[in-house]
Amino acid sequence: MRQIALLASDSSHLPLLTVFKESGVTQKYGFEIELDVVGGAKAPTMAHRTSLIFAGEIDFVSGLHHETYRARSRGDKRLVYLAQTQNRWDDRLVAAPEIDGVQDLRGRKIVCHSKAPCVVGNFTTILKQFGFRDDEIRIAPIESMAADRRNYVDKVVAGEASAALVDMPFDLYGKNSGLKIIDLPDRPVIHNTTILTTTGYIRENRENVIGFLKALIETIHFFKTQPAKVVSILQKNLAGYYMLNEEQYYRHLQTEWAKLLLIKPYPLPAAIQNVYELDVAKDPNMARVAPLEPWDLHYLREIDDSGFIDELYGA
């Protein structure tokens, strides 16, 4: 059975991608997933993602939300997005008991699980929507991809920070540690498991592309409709990675991700505009790149028009 190499940009992508690898769905399409995460031996840093995919050492990347626009602004048009599995921001804010809302965090230290623009940039924008000035925003992002992410919650518990922006299931870990979950406004984003490959790979591996996307869509269906099996897969494969053993964390992941995952993984226009503006704000040269340029939804549309997705859900 052929192997398809998939690289996740961050461990926050693992709830879906672990089920993609371990559910058995891919075998129906004649392949198995070889899954790696940035920070591991194959891709020690974010910078390795493009070099690996251009070298043909990986087939698909999950993530790479900003480099694609940056590459196109330099004239390199090889990177292309094929699907977006969620359009809503899923980061959670946990805070010390004395914090009653976002407004109480003016000038206070907030530790953050990632320094990526789609995390820090979006969170900064939300704080400014609440009227925060630049000098009132104190975000301390992650320094190491290999860090124990419980530490960000633990720093708040220890009084070293007033709040932490975390991925699930660390919001539940924070709640269990006596912290508050502070509601954040909804925000459309290109985030987490955005599926990317190269124009050369698509040209030479059409069958792989179609099979990969069909298996991904069917995995989303599995995630939504087989909660007990998903929880079992997540706990077995991620307990050691997240350093959280209790089943409640994986029930939480299944429940919350099932709400976010798209039956038809098309990007939301507002989400594309969001990531585009985050890039253009950092590099005006990207203004030459139209927001939709890196997106090729032809293959997803072909699958959708065939009735494949509707049949999965009995529509």
pLDDT in tens, 253-278: 999 999 999 999 999 999 999 988 88
Buried b (16+ CB within 10 A) or exposed e, 167-188: bbbbbbbbeeeebbebebeebb
Nearest to 313 by CA among 182, 180, 208, 222: 222
Q: How far is CA 160 from the centre of its chain?
A: 27
The parts of the chain modelled with pLDDT lower than 50 are 145
- For strands 92-95 and 180-182, give the pairing: antiparallel
The pLDDT, as a whole number, for residue 146 is 52
The pLDDT, as a whole number, for residue 145 is 47
Domains of the chain: 2-87+190-312 (3.40.190.10), 92-182 (3.40.190.10)
Pairwise CA distance, residues 211 & 288, whole Å? 33
Q: How far is CA 68 from the centre of its chain?
A: 16
Pairwise CA distance, residues 11 & 55, whole Å? 23
Nearest to 155 by CA among 94, 90, 107: 94
Q: What is the dihedral of CA 24, 262, 15, 152, to 10 degrees?
A: 180
Pairwise CA distance, residues 187 & 91, whole Å? 10
Helical ranges in 33-88 per DSSP H: 48-54, 67-73
Amino acid, single-letter form, for residue 100: D
Read off the pLDDT of residues 117-156 as tens digits, 9 standing for 90 and up: 778 889 999 999 999 999 999 999 866 545 687 999 999 9
Three-state DSSP at 74 gives coil
Question: pTM of the full predicted structure?
Answer: 0.94
